Structure 1
Amino acid sequence: MRSSGSSGSNGNRNSNRGAGSSRDKKQQSSSGRPRPEERRYTSDGNRGAAKGGPRKRSTPARPRELDAQIEERNRARYDTPRPKTPKTFGEQEGERLQKVLARAGMGSRRACEELIERARVEVNGQVVVEQGMRVDPEKDEIKVDGLTVATQAHLFFALNKPAGVVASMEDPEGRQCLGDYVNNRETRLFHVGRLDTETEGIILLTNHGELAHRLTHPRYGVRKTYLAAIQGPIPRDLGKRLKDGIKLEDGYARADHFKVVENTGKNYLVEVSLHEGRKHIVRRMLAEAGFPVDKLVRTRFGPIPLGDQKSGWLRRMTNTEVGMLMKEVGL
């Protein structure tokens, strides 16, 4: 029993001794490599062993051309534009209602929002009371106070131009011009024909280029009607002379229609219609005939009358009026 006990204890000591020797061998074998926390960077930037440990062989520096190629490749990878997602996954269809109303000349966006808040706007027969509704201007029927708003890309306005206003959308000299009467700045409008600065009356504004061209071209013969204040007495054949043609410095000019509207003593109010559009044409014709014009008002442009529209007021033309203009010039 003792011998077996002693042999067992001796075996344990031998096994412990063997385990200790194996640990010593591992420590000796790993003594040449520093532990991670003992690693250091040398002054030349190479990572090496701790002080006293073996140094690693330094690797050659990477060429600058290769670095530039890698940088360019990374930029190309991250600067690639994102693919556009379909509208069904992001952007909503249509335009905001107040934006469409503003573009149609109903006022500023804030004013159009107030129209919506007051329940004065309908879309497809339904009154709109909430902001942010999106519509399709080409398909949806939009009304304000029961009147249809022509929200398509083409806009049509009639302005009663006061005397002294320059017949252009902008004036480099800073004088009052047609653009001062237009609230809609999102769509570029232009005037149809011209109207003398001192002449009052109706002038059309639109962004429909073909219609504007035809309305002012002599080929289509669109008639313009004026009321002129002159001093008499006037001869009975004045109308015939104007219709036969008055010779001007740039050729003959003929009136399509002439009549006396009112006569008070020597003051005459006459109506002249013609399809010409030369500068100061009515004033020049009457002055050449011996009757200078004191005041001139254009009361009709084609089928569109001035009516009782106040001086300086801009109004949106109705769909019926636009249709009449289109028919006048074959559009």
Structure 2
Amino acid sequence: MRLNKYIAQSGIASRRKADELTIAGNVKINGLVMKEPGYDVVEGDVVEVSGRKIEPVKKFVYLMLNKPKGFVTTVSDEEGRPTVLDLLTDVSVRVFPIGRLDYNTSGLLLLTNDGDLAYRLTHPKHQVYKTYRARVTGILSEARAAKLRNGIDIGGFVTSKAKVEILKGTANSTIVEIQIYEGKNRQVRKMFAAVGNKVIDLERVAMGELFLGRLKEGHYRKLTQQEIDYLKNC
């Protein structure tokens, strides 16, 4: 089994993150540092990540969390800020977030120990749309919305086409629903800034056909089998 897949199936991280860990020298095979992501793990190999022996997970866990502002979407934080894992008070298995929501963004976040699913949902080629509801400064004109729909340069990167719907607005602010399938750092905020509207508040309300619904902020639930099947086939 390819090394990144082995690490992903061990519930440590997605395949992409597994490659980063390997290249950084955090992975050992049989006691020796392995920096080649393409290595094939064979029966009898002892695999360690950051000094911890790992093995593929036999039981996967899939959770939906309504992330509040003020939490980082990482397993740990060098600055000592609270992480989304601090909200999982009764989850005994090791899980990690699928993708990220920045510190000041709230809403739907999936967590799992299924690295293959995490890879699938975060890779742009699968085009899984994430839906955000944003409140932005000033009036978002149809001309500006059209720029967002067609793709816009956010500083060395031109976004793919987005789905944008203006829900309501005043002279001071506009509430907008925007759907994107990419996941660049602070992408939605940068997109609105590029057309002259600063984000005041941002919440992710859906991922594909999974909706946050009435899940309270800071609370989480297990995904249903139907939801899991949908994610694996979308």
Aligned to 2:201: 295
Look up the SS of the partner of 1:294 in the other structure. strand
Residue 93 (structure 2) aligns with:
187
Q: Please, what is the CA RMSD of the aligned residues?
A: 1.4
Q: 2:112 aligns with which of 181, 199, 206?
A: 206
Structure 2 portions without partners, runs of 5+: 1-57
2-structure distance, mates of 1:273, 1:234: 16
- How far apart in 2 are the matches of 1:158 and 1:299? 11
- 2:136 aligned to 197, 212, 230, which one? 230
Residue in 2 that maps onto 1:323: 229
> Whose helix proportion is higher, 1 or 2?
1
The letter for the 1-side match of 2:105 is T
Q: Say which one has the larger Rg.
A: 1
Are positions 1:153 and 2:59 aligned together? yes
Map Cα deviations across residues 72-127 of structure 1 (whole Å, 9 max, x no partner). Answer: xxxxxxxxxxxxxxxxxxxxxxxxxxxxxxxxxxxxxxxxxxxxxxxxxxxxxxxx
Q: Which runs of 5+ in 1 are unaligned?
A: 1-151
> In 2, Cα distance between the equivalents of 1:190 and 1:303?
21
- Give runs of aligned pairs for residues 202-281 of structure 1, distance below 5 A: 202-281=108-187
Q: Distance in 2 between matches of 1:235 and 1:257?
A: 15
Q: Map Cα deviations across residues 239-290 of structure 1 (whole Å, 9 max, x no partner).
A: 2111211112231013420011122443210010010100000000100110
Q: 2:185 is aligned with what amino acid?
A: K
Q: Deviations over 1:182-201 (max 9, x none)?
A: 13453210100011110000
Contact 1:262–1:270 (Cα < 8 Å) also in 2: yes
The one-letter amino acid of 2:140's match is: I
Offset of 1:238 from its aligned partner?
2.0
Distance in 2 between the 1:170 and 1:219 partners?
28
Amino acid at match of 1:266: N
Corresponding letter in the other structure for 2:112: T
Secondary structure at 2:73 match in 1: coil
Structure 2: which amino acid aligns with 1:170?
A: S
How far apart in 2 are the matches of 1:166 and 1:277?
Answer: 16
Return the alpha-carbon distance in structure 1 between the equivalents of residues 142 and 155 of structure 2: 25
Between Structure 1 and Structure 2, the one with more strand by share is: 2
| Contact 1:255 1:273 survives alignment (8 Å) | no
Q: CA deviation at 1:231?
A: 2.1
* In structure 2, C-alpha distance between the alignment counterparts of 1:327 and 1:210, rounded to whole Å: 12
- In structure 2, what is the Cα distance between the partners aligned to 1:255 and 1:306? 24
| Runs of 4+ that moved beyond 3 A | none
> 1:210 is paired with a residue of what secondary structure?
helix
Q: 1 CA distance for matches of 2:201 and 2:192?
A: 12
Partner SS state of residue 296, structure 1: strand
- By relative contact order (CA 8 Å, sep 6+), the higher-ranking structure is 2
Residues in 1 aligned to 2:213 and 2:137: alpha-carbon distance in whole angstroms: 25
TM-score, normalisation: structure 1: 0.52
